[in-house]
Amino acid sequence: MESSQDRNLPASQRKLDKARADGQVARSQYLGHLAVLGSGSALLIAFAPTGFEQLKLALSQQLHFNSTSIELPGDMILRMQDLVSTGLMMALIFAAAALAASVFSNISIGGWVFSLKPVMPDLNKLDPLNGLSNMFSRKKLFDIGKTSFLMVVLLLVSAYFLYGSFDSLALLIMQPSAGALPHLLDWLIKGIALLLGVVFVVALIDVPLQIFLHKSELKMSLQEVKDEAKQSEGSAEVKTKRRAKQREFAKRASIRKVPQADFVLMNPTHYAVAVKYDDATMDVPIVISKGADLLAMKIKDIARSHKIPVIESPSLARALYANTELDAEIPTSLFTAVAQILAYVYRLKANLRGEGPAPGDVPKPHVPPELDPLTSPLVSGAMA
């Protein structure tokens, strides 16, 4: 089993994409806290004067009583409804701003990710041993330490702020409600600004730290990189089979080119190779179609239907089939053998046009033994 120390290679793009699809991206909860507090503070500073003015007006109206209020008790309920509506409207504005800021802060680091996998049931999470190992993991202990440190700092800063403003805050009790509200607003803004400064410093450290930890968790070992490359490209056996199928498809598609051939070599039934040569555009003859068994019979039928000479030359047909790719030049070691067949075909075509004598018997060109699958085990294995 590979240890975490073996995982020292950066994660591949494929692993990063898979982790993202699983909902695993870098997130900083403190950046979310900063965004929520920052948006709330901005709204508080921007709309607090108007909001507190409305609240002061509402309080003065609701706390004003006369004989009508005594005669109509339902009027108190209406007053309470108006006051609650005002408070709810202010709370909804703050909640909407906090929600938007929280979503934007999360997207700003890891981007938008939609995945249901993190909320899907996972029986492995019910394993108590697995749960204990997660509780005491390095990341979990680091998070606990970081949160504890932040709590201590916030408590110290809050204690310092409260201790310094305790006297002025106590004096607000002696003032009328309408006059105390501006002082209370000013006290809240100072406290939130101080709190915001602490969270800002923590978020400034936590954001790059979370990105680093996320990339560290996804680091790969050398064996994982090799396995991923093998999965991406396929094993040697799979690639060999794929190439064989591609060659077979190419052979079947090459049948359409048979009518362009100058002649077809047969073996006489197992292999067929269609050869073309144009002295004006080609330096060497090329193989434009080839096939075995049923495909060979198909090539022969098409050639005869287009009055293309079909020559039986078993060893040369086998050698060309085994050693030449489609639309490729024939090997130099077979130049002489193919030239002899080509000369015979030219004499045959001239005779058919009435321009020369019969060419005689089909030549039996010499084929190097190492190129004939029947005599060379190496070529025979390659064809198989």
Measured distance CA(33)–CA(105) in Å, rounded: 9
**Number of domains the chain contains:** 2
- Looking at residue 232, its pLDDT comes to 63
Indicate if 80 and 164 belong to the same structural domain.
Answer: yes
- Residues of the chain scoring pLDDT < 50: 1-5, 382
- Looking at residue 340, its pLDDT comes to 92
Indicate if 166 and 310 belong to the same structural domain.
Answer: no
Answer whether residue 173 is part of any domain.
yes
Tell me the pLDDT tens digit for each residue of 57-70. Answer: 766 666 666 666 66
User: CA of 243: how far to CAs of 141, 226, 237, 249, 343, in Å?
Assistant: 52, 22, 10, 10, 35
Indicate if 211 and 354 belong to the same structural domain.
Answer: no
| Residue where the block lists tokens 């077809």 | 264
Question: In this structure, what token pair is assigned to residue 373?
Answer: 């699958």
The CB density around residue 312, as the number of other CB atoms within 10 Å, is 13
Measured distance CA(3)–CA(294) in Å, rounded: 56
Indicate if 43 and 127 belong to the same structural domain.
Answer: yes
Measured distance CA(341)–CA(344) in Å, rounded: 5
What DSSP string runs through 147-186? HHHHHHHHHHHHHHHHHHHHHHHHHGGGS-HHHHHHHHHH
- Looking at residue 341, its pLDDT comes to 92
| Residue where the block lists tokens 């909320």 | 119
Where would I find the H helices in the chain?
13-21, 29-62, 67-71, 74-110, 128-135, 138-171, 177-217, 222-233, 236-253, 294-305, 314-323, 335-352, 377-383
Indicate if 164 and 284 belong to the same structural domain.
Answer: no
Q: Considering only CA atoms, give the Rg of the chain.
A: 43
Question: In this structure, what token pair is assigned to residue 186?
Answer: 């000013």
Q: Are 101 and 36 in contact (CB under 8 A)?
A: yes
Answer whether residue 17 is part of any domain.
no
Range of the domain at 205: 25-63+70-111+123-217
Indicate if 252 and 190 belong to the same structural domain.
Answer: no
Indicate if 189 and 290 belong to the same structural domain.
Answer: no
- Using left for φ > 0, alpha for ψ between -120 and 50, and beta otherwise, residue 23 falls in left
Which contacts (CB < 8 Å, 24+ apart) does range 242-251 have? Answer: 250/326, 251/289, 251/290, 251/291, 251/295, 251/326
Considering the entire predicted model, what is its pTM? Answer: 0.41
- Looking at residue 67, its pLDDT comes to 63
Domain boundary among the residues 183, 217, 251 is at 217
User: CA of 47: how far to CAs of 92, 180, 348, in Å?
Assistant: 14, 18, 102
Indicate if 298 and 359 belong to the same structural domain.
Answer: yes
Type of residue at 200: F
